[in-house]
Structure 1
Amino acid sequence: MLTVESLKKSYDDTSARASKRRSGQGARVYAVGGVDFEVHDGELFTLLGPSGCGKTTTLRSVAGLERPTEGRVTLGGRVLFDAAQKINIHANQRGLGMVFQSYAIWPHMSVFKNVSFPLEVMPRAKRPARKEIEDLVGQALEVTELAAYAGRPATKLSGGQQQRLALARALVTRPELMLLDEPLSNLDAKLRESMRFELKRLQRELNLTAIYVTHDQSEALVMSNRIAVMNQGRIEQIGKPREIYTKPATRFVAEFIGTSNFMEGKVVSAGAGEVSVDTAHGRMVAHGVERIPAVGDPVLVSIRPECVDLSRERRGNVANEWSGTVLTRAFMGDVVDHIVGVGELEIRNRSNPTLSIPPGTEVHFSVAPDKVTLVPVD
């Protein structure tokens, strides 16, 4: 449906402009350094990354609110932007719906008028009849569960209701593509969690195609069909949430998505999906490795805390079993985190709260070979 090709957006910094005046040349600062991705019909595609990684600039470039330096953007075969052909369709002519981080609700209008506004300001030739506007607004309010508040001033809504109002206003024009720029970031933690499922419900029921921007990894994992993890203006990995979490392609992805234990090592044997790695603290065996490295290659071993099996007794008949000492523990309600020291290495374990081992206790821990991920070292 949507295709983004070789998209770049650059800004000249102050020093570059000064240099340009002196020498006729100047370095460019790239907010987006060349990204490629496709969004399929009915898909919620998430751009995930830390502040400053270029995800909002990418979204605004698709919306037409930023003019990219290079690249091409097409929607359903229609070219929205092409730097080479000097095509740039104005934002109000792209037919996209957008929900901003700030809801931008008209405070002097009712809930109904806020939602009807995009229809009422359409060019006369495209503007629906008044009865059709009423029907479209009614449908948008119904699916967002705001029909009972149609006559209420918009400022009298709760935070979650205002977020749904902004969504209803974007939905009412029946856009081909929805763009959502961190729409839940202004909500408190409990409301934000419930709204994740609400938004996902709406997206599925209405078969919406949407691009969702967030820095919240939990939000991305819960809501997305696919995730693009961005870093420094580039996409590090695209994949389904489970794939991104269990098979990170780079160290940045492994660190940014959840928590990981890392060990540097060198491959000593490899073949048939099984790889053995020597680390400074012992040997690790990994099964189900998709990208088999060569013997002698440096790799980064990544292990999720919940994949570390902690025990007071040595079992001896399991792979990847090491010994260590509990350094500290933390009760977190639904889980208990233990930090286990192995020499200078610290391994994090995440266990059911029924297991709580006090600091100073000698323990043994193991990791199933199919839970060991090998990340290439650039």
Structure 2
Amino acid sequence: MLTVESLKKSYDDTAGRRSRRPGNEGTRVYAVGGVDFEVHDGELFTLLGPSGCGKTTTLRSVAGLERPTEGRVTLGGRVLFDAEQGINMRANRRGLGMVFQSYAIWPHMTVFKNVSFPLEVLPRTKRPGRREIEERVEQVLDVIELGAYASRPATKLSGGQQQRLALGRALVTRPELMLLDEPLSNLDAKLRETMRFELKRLQRELNLTAIYVTHDQSEALVMSNRIAVMNQGRIEQIGKPREIYTKPATRFVAEFIGTSNFMEAKVVSVDGREVRVDTAHGPLVAGEVDKAPAVGDTVMISIRPECVDLSPERRGNVPNEWSGQVLTRAFLGDVVDHIVGVGDLEIRNRSNPNLSIPPGTEVHFSVAPDKVTLVPVD
């Protein structure tokens, strides 16, 4: 549906140029350094990354609110932007719906008028008749569950209702593609969690194709069909949420998505999809490895805290069993985190709250081979 190819967006480093000697041309700063991805019909595709990684600039380039430096953007066979051919379709002609971080609700209008406004300002040749406008607005209000509030001033809605109103205003134009730029960031934590499922429900029911921008890992994992993890203007990995979490392609992805235990290791043997490594604290076996490294390679081991099986007693018949001492623990409500010291290494375990081991206790822990992830050393 949407294809983005070799997209780049750069800015002149004017501040840097002023600090250099006269005649120096300065440098170009790339907010987006060459990204490629496709968004399929009916898919919620998320651009995830920290502040300043280029995700919003990428979204605004698709929307037509930024002019990229290089690249090509096509939607359903239409060329929206092509740097080589000099094509840059105006934002209001791209037929996209956009929901911004701030809802930009018109405070002097009712809920109904907020939703109908995008239809009422269309060119006369494309503007639906009054009756059709009313029908489409009523349909959208029913979908976002605001039909009972049609005549209410928009400012009298709650935060969650205003978020749905902003979504409804974008939906009423029936766009080919929805663009959502951190639309839940202004909500409190509890409401934000509720609205994740609400947005996902609407996206599925309406079969919306959408690009969603967020820095919130939990939000991305809950809502997305696929995720593109961005860092410093580039995409580090694209995949389904479970794949991104369990099989990170780089250390950055493993660190940014959730929490991980890291240690450096050297490959000592490879047997099919099973890899044996040596670390400074003992041997480990990694199973179900998709792309096996070569013997002698240095790799980074990534182990998620919930995959560390902690026990006060040694079992002896399980792979990857190590011994250590509990350094500290933290009760987090639905889980308990233990920090276990193995020499100068600290391993984080995340357990059911029924298991709570005091600091200073000698313990044993193990990790199933298929939970040991090998990450290439950058």
- Give your verdict on TM over 0.5: yes
Structure 1 gaps, min length 5? none
Counterparts of 1:99 and 1:318, CA distance in 2 = 51
Q: Which residue of 1 aligns with 2:265?
A: 265
Other-structure match for 2:171:
171
- Contact 1:227–1:239 (8 Å) recurs in 2: yes
Alignment of 1:68 with 2:79, yes or no, is no
Tell me the secondary structure at the aligned position of residue 166 of structure 1: helix
SS in 1 for 2:242: helix
Partner of 2:322: 322
Maintained 8 Å contact 1:53/1:232: yes
Question: Within 2, Cα distance between the matches of 1:63 and 1:19?
Answer: 34
What is the CA–CA distance in structure 1 between the aligned matches of 2:19 and 2:132, rounded to whole Å? 58
Secondary structure at the aligned position of 1:23 is classed as coil
Give the structure 2 partner of residue 226 of structure 1. Answer: 226
C-alpha distance in 1, partners of 2:292/2:12?
Answer: 42
What is the CA deviation profile of residues 308-337 of structure 1, one whole-angstrom value per residue up to 9, with x for unaligned ones? 000011111111000000000011111111
Cα distance in 1 between the residues matched to 2:311 and 2:98: 51
The CA deviation at 1:272 is 0.4
1:19–1:25 contact (8 Å) kept in structure 2: no
Structure 2 residue 365 is matched with structure 1 residue 361: no
Return the letter of the residue paired with 2:204: R
Q: What are the equivalent positions in structure 2 for 1:122-161 lying under 5 Å apart?
A: 122-161=122-161
C-alpha contact 2:17 2:24 (8 A) present in aligned 1: no
Does 2:44 correspond to 1:44? yes
Structure 2 counterparts to residues 328-367 of structure 1, below 5 A: 328-367=328-367
Q: Which residue of 2 aligns with 1:207?
A: 207
Q: Which residue of 1 aligns with 2:5?
A: 5
Percent sequence identity is 87
Q: 1:41 to 1:20 in 2, by over 3 A?
A: farther
Tell me the distance in 2 between the aligned counterparts of 1:331 and 1:286.
30
AA matched with 2:210:
A
Q: Give the structure 1 partner of residue 192 of structure 2.
A: 192
Report if aligned partners of 1:99, 1:181 keep a CA contact under 8 Å in 2: yes
Contact 1:96 1:177 in 2 (8 A): yes
1:241 paired residue number: 241
Instruction: Tell me the TM-score normalized by structure 2.
Output: 0.99
Aligned mates of 1:24, 1:316 — CA distance in 2: 66
Deviation at 1:26, TM superposition (A): 2.9
The amino acid that maps onto 2:257 is I
Distance 1:21 1:10, change over 3 A: farther
Per the normalisation by structure 1, the TM-score is: 0.99
Structure 1 position 56 matched with structure 2 position 82: no
Question: Displacement, 1:224?
Answer: 0.1
- 1:251-262 mapped onto 2 (5 Å cutoff): 251-262=251-262
Amino acid in structure 2 at the alignment position of 1:127: R
Name structure 2 gaps, 5 residues minimum: none
Alignment partners' CA distance in 2, 1:28 and 1:20:
14
How far, CA to CA, are the matches of 2:332 and 2:79 in structure 1? 50
What amino acid does structure 1 have at the position aligned with 2:96? L
CA RMSD of aligned residues (A): 1.0
Within 1, Cα distance between the matches of 2:259 and 2:327?
18
- Distance in 2, Cα, partners of 1:214 & 1:174: 23
Structure 2 residue identity aligned to 1:356: S
Instruction: Give 1:284's aligned residue.
Output: 284
Amino acid at match of 1:100: F
The Cα of 1:15 is off from its aligned counterpart by 3.7
Deviation at 1:29, TM superposition (A): 0.2
| 1:85 has 2:85 as partner | yes
Cα distance in 1 for partners of 2:299, 2:175 equals 45
Deviation at 1:270, TM superposition (A): 1.1
Give distance in 1, aligned partners of 2:91 and 2:354.
Answer: 55
Q: Tell me the residue number matched to 2:31.
A: 31
Please give the alpha-carbon distance, in whole angstroms, between the structure 1 residues aligned to 2:30 and 2:20. Answer: 17
What CA deviation, in whole Å up to 9, does each residue of 1:144-198 have, x standing for no partner? 0000000000000000000000000000000000000000000000000000000
Match in the other structure for 1:305: 305
Number of residue pairs matched by the alignment: 378
In the alignment, the residues of structure 2 paired with residue 304 and residue 54 of structure 1 have an alpha-carbon distance, to the nearest angstrom, of 27
Q: Which amino acid aligns with 1:139?
A: Q
